[in-house]
Amino acid sequence: MASETATQKIKLPAPRYDGKVSVEKAMHLRRSIRSYKLEPLSLNNISQLLWAAQGKTSPRGYRTAPSAGALYPLEVYFFAFDVTGLDEGVYQYFPNEHAIAMTRKGNVREDLCKSSLNQSPVRHAPAVFVISAVFERTIIKYGQRGERYVQIEAGHAAQNICLQAVSEGMGTVVVGAFLDHEINALLNSIPEARPLYIIPAGVPAE
């Protein structure tokens, strides 16, 4: 489901299904990286990280992260601050089309920092990903137990982003301390969505 104000969709470069870094090596190298070079990310980088989070992997609609009942409650957004080929702004990911659409134009980094309790990685990363969830999509089938399933699913998607970042020569850190309602307002997201993770990403400074 798109934000009501989402603009025309931008088709992303096709994701790669093989890379130079094995899953085992990515797990071994993954660390929480909080400092990034002043270096832009490419649209290919963004494409690969979004695909890792929620990309479609089957004609039946299955995705990279497991989902209880294949109900897919997650919505993935990102703040583009320094991404080659993209205007600054907030974008929503559409897995079925492997495409994005802008939901808010302009650089809102200062607002994002304040809403994230002024955490340094958010202030300096060229891109910041947000995993949100519409809990009702899962709760309608599984009742209150569905809330746990959604949180588990968000963890799968976040780890996928972190491991894919390693494969791309990038670093990430997962952030859970933020003001939910302010993040939602910045995302210009669908009203039912609740933000669960903020994940800054960039080329490690060291």
Mean pLDDT, all residues of the chain = 95
Query: Per-residue pLDDT averaged across 113-134, rounded?
Result: 97
Query: Per-residue pLDDT averaged across 179-191, rounded?
Result: 93
- Give the start-end residues of each E strand in 109-155: 127-133
| Cα 43–chain centre separation | 14
Query: Per-residue pLDDT averaged across 74-84, rounded?
Result: 98
pLDDT at 200 over 90: yes
pLDDT at 1 over 90: no
Q: What is the pTM of this model?
A: 0.95
100: CB partners within 8 A, 6+ apart: 9, 10, 12, 46, 50, 78, 91, 92, 93, 94
Question: What domains appear along the chain, each with residue ranges and CATH number?
Answer: 10-202 (3.40.109.10)
Backbone angles phi, psi at 122, to 5 degrees: -65, -35
pLDDT at 64 over 70: yes
Do 30 and 111 form a contact (C-beta atoms < 8 A)?
A: no
180: CB partners within 8 A, 6+ apart: 194, 195
Query: Per-residue pLDDT averaged across 123-145, rounded?
Result: 98
Model confidence pLDDT, tens digit, residues 34-58? 999 999 999 999 999 999 999 999 9
66: CB partners within 8 A, 6+ apart: 153, 156
